[in-house]
Amino acid sequence: MHPSDFFCFTSDSTLPLRFFRGYAFCDTDLVIGNGGLDQYHRDVPFHEDGRYFMLKKTGPRFVGGADYKGNMKMFTYKSDEGWAFSNSFALLVDKVKERGWSIAVRPEHFATWNLKGAFWQQLWSFDTAVAEISLLPSHSLISIEAGQLSVKVHDNLERFADYETAMENFLNIWLGRAGTLMQTPLKVDITGGVDSRVNLSLFLAASRVFGAPAQMTFNCGAYGRHKDDYAVAKTLSGEFDFALNKKLETDTVSMDSHDMFSLWRLTCLGAYSPLYMPPQTAHPKLVHVMGGGGEGHRPFYAHTNIRAHLQSVRGPLSDANFDTVLQSIYQSIKIAGNKVPPMMLHYREFRDRLHSGLLGNYSIRIMPLASRHLYAATRFKTAQELERNQLLFDIMNAATPELMTQPYDNSSKMPSEACLMHLLDRPQLAPMSGKIYSGTIRPSSNTQGKAHSPLAHLADAAAHTNACDIAAQIAREGKVSHPQDGITIHNALLADLLNI
């Protein structure tokens, strides 16, 4: 991804008749960028898997929608002066300020960026730090007609007669997509846990159907906190005869340090506070499959009650701000509306989407467990079944059953007796692979004579804020020891953006 992939449309500008950014699955085909869309010769559907936004003119209206998960996060601005929408909070604020339109800061929302804990490290409701700007709910549509912008939640998730049919649909689609992805250099993450093993089971099964590709490797960290994961991955590699941490030959492009800083700013400012800078070298044809999304199918937070959870993480939040935040979360859950427990829905809509989905803003990252087609199956499972990972072990059992009872990094992750007793009968599957449609590769930036690190640009941006010292220290060291070290810098730059 590149800063030029970000956009902002305003009520005083002309909308294009057709517009596309990102990468989208269309059944088992994968469409990447405008060049891919031109080759595909059709519009991509709204609300499929991937990370994209599509805008098109339909009769008198312009209609825009993102991927189902909302990985291409969209923000809308509405005031008496006009409307705007963008895939970047920072860019949207920049454009609004250029026009002199109103910006009213929500102090209670801004205050939560300084609270500790994972719950507060990204947006926690559709409200943002600016009263006129909202995060677009996943599976929503933007409509512009007669000069007016409106938003409608449009949950077009498939409705199946039963769990068995929903799971058969998911398995056929994702085994077919695995066959598609194996046509390009491919890296599939594996750890000692359950979630990534589901992906392993899908890609091993696809290799049996479509043939094992030469340009695929399974990937696992080998040192530090990853040692236990690597021990399990190495055992599985020997047992199932797959490549582990193999170097792939892929095209590379470089990004200069200013573009790297800009990409981080456009992606994260006002939406996600830990500091993950994009890499300088990208592999545009490499697809990376991640295990993220699994916790969207089981309880992640300790409390299932919204108020109880908020009490447990509120820290120094005042009573007045607590009540305002609570009502904002209640309203967001009501808007998102889905037949899963409220805190699970909250995790999907915010933490999973903005944290797990973050790296998909920097390169092509695919998360089968965050697929709309799996969400359609989750609806049939009870809270108890979800907690014991019945859904995920059912996938494993259908794809590569021998993997289920192989060692994990923690014995508590083994399938329970109840889980094994209630496994889904293996369906008869007939997956069909698709095709990858992509355009030309963007050339490398001119990196000669540029600062060697985007952290230098970060320090320059923060030089007149209260985070100047920590930003300067990070720039001198040339690294971020831990992403959470950057939270203070994010919050200072957000305050600067909003003139607080």
Q: Are residues 123 and 180 in the same domain?
A: no
Pair (118, 53) in one structural domain: yes
Q: Which of 302, 292, 294, 288 is nearest to 413 (CA)?
A: 294
Res. 412: pLDDT tops 60: yes
pLDDT of residue 443 exceeding 90: no
Query: Virtual CA dihedral for 264, 270, 271, 276, nearest 10 degrees?
Result: 30
The answer to the question of residue 350 being in a domain is: no
Structural domain includes residue 96: yes
Asked if residue 266 is part of any domain, the answer here is no
The pLDDT of residue 169: 97
- pLDDT of 449: 44
Tell me the H-state helices in 276-318.
306-313
Domain boundary (130, 153, 176) is at 153
Residues 131 and 21 grouped into a single domain: yes
- Quote the pLDDT of residue 450: 47
What is the C-alpha radius of gyration for the chain, rounded to an integer number of angstroms? Answer: 22
The answer on pLDDT for 264 being more than 90 is yes
Residue 227 inside a domain? The answer is yes
Higher-scoring residue by pLDDT: 283, 314:
314
Specify the DSSP element, H or E, that contains 8.
Answer: strand 8-10
Question: Residues 381, 430: one domain?
Answer: yes
User: In this structure, is residue 139 part of a structural domain?
Assistant: yes
Q: How many domains does the chain have?
A: 3
Residue 130 lies in a domain: yes
Question: pLDDT (tens digit, 9 = 90+) per residue, 369-384?
Answer: 999 999 999 999 998 9
The mean pLDDT value for 348-354 works out to: 95
- Compute the C-alpha angle 78/83/85, nearest 5°: 100
How would you classify the pairing of strands 365-366 and 216-219? unpaired
Lowest-confidence region among 87-101, 106-120, 284-298, 449-463: 449-463
Q: 344 lies in a domain?
A: no
Q: Over pLDDT 90: what percentage of the chain?
A: 77
Do 99 and 19 share a structural domain? yes
**pLDDT average, residue stretch 212-227:** 85
Do 149 and 44 lie in a common domain?
Answer: yes
Do residue 478 and residue 417 come from a single domain?
no
Which pTM was predicted? 0.93
Q: Is residue 264 part of a domain?
A: no
CA distance 439 to 430: 30
Pair (69, 92) in one structural domain: yes
Q: List, for residues 280-290, the tens digit of each pLDDT value.
A: 877 878 999 99
pLDDT at 448 over 60: no
Whole domain around residue 65: which residue ranges?
3-153
Please check whether residues 133 and 176 belong to one and the same domain.
Answer: no
State yes or no: pLDDT of 101 exceeds 60: yes
Same domain, 41 and 174: no
Mean pLDDT of 182-206: 95
Cβ neighbour number for residue 129 with a 10 Å cutoff:
25
Residues 9 and 119 in one domain: yes
How many residues belong to the chain?
500
Residue with tokens 């898997």: 49
pLDDT at 432: 96
**Residues 485, 411 share a domain:** no
Q: What is the mean pLDDT of the chain?
A: 92
Average of per-residue pLDDT across 294-309:
90
How far apart CA 249 and CA 266 sit, in angstroms, is: 30
